[in-house]
Amino acid sequence: MHHIFTPGITPPVEQSVPAWWFAFVGKKLLVHQEGTANQIPQLTSLEEIGLIPIRTQFLGTLGDRPCYCAELPKDISTPTGMTLQGLRELYGTLDEDLFILSGRAIQIVEWNRTHQYCGYCATPTTQLSHERAKRCPNCGLVNYPRLSPAVIVLISRGEELLLARAHRFPPKMYSILAGFVEPGESLEETVVREVREEVGIEVKDIRYFGSQPWPFPNSLMIGFTATYASGEIAIEPEELVDAGWFNKHNLPQIPPKLSIARKLIDWFVSTH
């Protein structure tokens, strides 16, 4: 598709074309099933298919078409020809533009759901008209959609790269190291700390690679490369099951192409 997405806060006064509706029940998105592909519903409103949303937010426009996200009740009857699926399951079955927007939508839906009341004084919040924020009319506290920055780093040693298995990974899958940024840290400091904590080695030559929104649930993954400097691998057992050096010609099972982890690994294999 490759249309330009323009974020927005205020929906159009008059809607001349059907909108994209990113409607969620919990963490599952409502989609049309068309064989092995899926489509986001295009509707003037969800009421057209008998659904009454709990809350909605205008997202912006994709090309010339408005986009909305919505939270649906958990007890809905799924309309004929539609199904509810998690975003990970939908990768590769949705148009890329719509998959990316789905990730944005689920984060806005969750923020909208969890910020109905002020976290300081419990007063019902008010949606601001000029930005994506909720303000408490009593104490003035303003809340924006949560974003949790995390670093992910590919560590190389010649033609080898360091891969590790976390407890939560599927059987036999290995990936590169990642961790959340702590208050007061630079991204590079987070790389050094996470590597030291998880596998006990030191790294150098830290370089920015790229970033990826990661809506599971609300992260921004910031990718780096680094080279081995010193030390022997000593895993943190609460975080990892195993870690080791793997030659680029003999890799274990690695993450799917959806992830920036895979993009980093593919880059390393193709350039070293």
185 is known to lie in a ligand binding site: no
127 is known to lie in a ligand binding site: no
250 is known to lie in a ligand binding site: no
Q: Which tens digit of pLDDT belongs to each residue from 84-137?
A: 999 989 988 998 899 999 999 999 999 999 999 999 999 999 999 999 999 999
Omega before residue 213 within 30° of 0, cis: no
Residue closest to 170 by CA, chosen among 261, 44, 255, 48: 255
The pTM of this model reads 0.89
**Same fold for the pair 5-114 and 148-271:** yes
268 is known to lie in a ligand binding site: no
Q: Which fold has domain 5-114?
A: Nucleoside Triphosphate Pyrophosphohydrolase (3.90.79)
136 is known to lie in a ligand binding site: yes
Q: Which tens digit of pLDDT belongs to each residue from 23-59?
A: 999 999 999 988 888 999 999 999 999 999 999 999 9
198 is known to lie in a ligand binding site: yes
CB-based contacts of 26, cutoff 8 Å, min separation 6? 74
User: Domain map of the chain by residue range?
Assistant: 5-114, 148-271
Q: In the prediction, which pLDDT does 225 show? A: 98
67 is known to lie in a ligand binding site: no
Residue 15 to residue 5: CA distance in whole angstroms: 17
Q: In the prediction, which pLDDT does 200 show? A: 97
Q: Which tens digit of pLDDT belongs to each residue from 215-260?
A: 988 999 999 999 999 999 999 999 999 999 999 999 999 998 889 9
148 is known to lie in a ligand binding site: no
Q: In the prediction, which pLDDT does 92 show? A: 85
Residue 11 has pLDDT above 80, yes or no: yes
19 is known to lie in a ligand binding site: no
b/e sequence 202-226, b meaning 16+ C-beta within 10 Å = ebeebeebeebebbeebbebbbbbb
Say how many Å lie between the first and final Cα of the chain, rounded.
33
243 is known to lie in a ligand binding site: no
69 is known to lie in a ligand binding site: no
267 is known to lie in a ligand binding site: no
Beta strand 148-157 with 219-230 is: parallel
User: CATH number of 148-271: 3.30.70.100, 3.30.460.10, 3.90.79.10, 3.20.20.100?
Assistant: 3.90.79.10
Residue 1 has pLDDT above 60, yes or no: no
214 is known to lie in a ligand binding site: yes
Residue 2 has pLDDT above 80, yes or no: no
Residue 226 to residue 155: CA distance in whole angstroms: 5
